Amino acid sequence: MAAGWSGVSVSLIIVSFNGRSLLRDCLESLEAQIRRPDEVIVVDNGSSDQSVSMVRDEFPWVRLIEAGENLGFAAGNNLGIRAATGEIIILLNNDTIPAPGFVESILAPLDEDQDLSAVSGVMLFVNQPEIVATSGIQVFSNGLALDRDAGSPWRSMSGNRPVFGPSGGAMAIRRSALDDVDLFPEPFFLYLEDVDLAWRMRLRNHHTVSSPAAWVLHHYSASSIEGSAFKDYFLARNRFWVLLRCWPRSFWIRFGFEVVVYELGALIYAIATGRWGSVRGRIAGWQGVSRLSRVRQRIRHRTTSSEVDLLYWICSALSVRNYLSFRKRLSLLAGGGHSNEQSLNERSAGPDVHSR
């Protein structure tokens, strides 16, 4: 594979499951990139909607890996990462439409700063292309992890900014960083696996910036419906697993009460409103405690960051009500506006989009 970016090879990985039309839009936008990756890998998680034949027929330059079953986001990306040959790995959701300068822009900070481990792209709502869906990961003292800058105007952002960690839907990371902290936790299947990765990176002093110039349009919750039992289950279970795996002992002493208060409030709300996916997820989270102890010990023994360094990133606790309001607002923002083609054309014509 050629090394076309500062002598470093770049692989871009997309995991797809029954999203043929979304995947086609994504791959077409990659064909229009100012700087194309050295290889593009699509990992198909056992799709039954002719996605595989579409990729073979319409995008012969794509390296296709057929998983044969639905491995989920975490294991699907890990499969692609292990097969990739690039020294820089770009991960992209199949429900995104990257700007023409996305690849070039997300690589630039890594080229400029050799001590930087990862870059988080900025995801914009496909129907609200001026509004940010996420610019990275933000963490709170009660254990929540949310999308940073969600609901903010994209044009108010300027310059690259440090963030706790990159969003898995649009990110670039050095392979050396992944070799150091390991890949996504495959038992998570879907949701918050990028939060777990971000924690492990922070525990090992790996730094991430967010780049407003590296923007993509995103179909919010295209893989699962917002508020569905499916999504509620994985969010509730995996949130607890992240804390069990990654939180230092001192954090449990300092913030453990806030975690318990939030969990009790969330559980009461879930029971009162019949959101049984959230209840089942919390039960499954507790049932996985014993299996996580060995992983937790390994992560703890390899931690090199100080408590002061980690505390810098912790925001004040968010209540259950505020968290639910946050998710509702994201759903509303994702609901209306322009068509995909309109949005992409408008954003491509935006002033100074490639000079940020």
Tell me what pLDDT residue 354 has: 26
Q: In the predicted model, what is the mean pLDDT of the chain?
A: 90
Token code pair at residue 53:
């034949």
CATH of the domain at 40: 3.90.550.10
* Average pLDDT of the residues in 122-130: 94
Dist CA 108 CA 345 (whole Å): 23
Is residue 78 predicted with pLDDT exceeding 90?
yes
Dist CA 221 CA 48 (whole Å): 20
Q: pLDDT class for 138, splitting at 50, 70, 90?
A: very high
Residue predicted with more confidence, 296 or 2: 296
Tell me what pLDDT residue 348 has: 38
Q: pLDDT class for 341, splitting at 50, 70, 90?
A: very low
Is residue 330 predicted with pLDDT exceeding 70?
yes
Is residue 143 predicted with pLDDT exceeding 50?
yes
What do you get for the CA distance between the two ends of the chain, in Å? 30
Tell me what pLDDT residue 335 has: 75
One-letter identity of residue 163: V
Is residue 17 predicted with pLDDT exceeding 60?
yes
Tell me what pLDDT residue 224 has: 56
Q: pLDDT class for 320, splitting at 50, 70, 90?
A: confident
258: containing domain: 1-356
Is residue 10 predicted with pLDDT exceeding 90?
yes
Is residue 315 predicted with pLDDT exceeding 50?
yes
% residues pLDDT > 70 (the chain): 90
- Spell out the residues 6+ positions from residue 264 whose beta carbon is closer than 8 angstroms to its own: none
Tell me what pLDDT residue 2 has: 42
Tell me what pLDDT residue 151 has: 92
Q: pLDDT class for 353, splitting at 50, 70, 90?
A: very low
Tell me what pLDDT residue 345 has: 36
Q: pLDDT class for 331, splitting at 50, 70, 90?
A: confident
* Average pLDDT of the residues in 88-105: 97
Is residue 149 predicted with pLDDT exceeding 70?
yes
Q: Which of 55-64, 153-162, 210-219, 326-335 has the lowest mean pLDDT?
A: 326-335
Token code pair at residue 296:
């937790």
Tell me what pLDDT residue 339 has: 35
Q: pLDDT class for 225, splitting at 50, 70, 90?
A: low
Provide the number of structural domains found in the chain.
Answer: 1
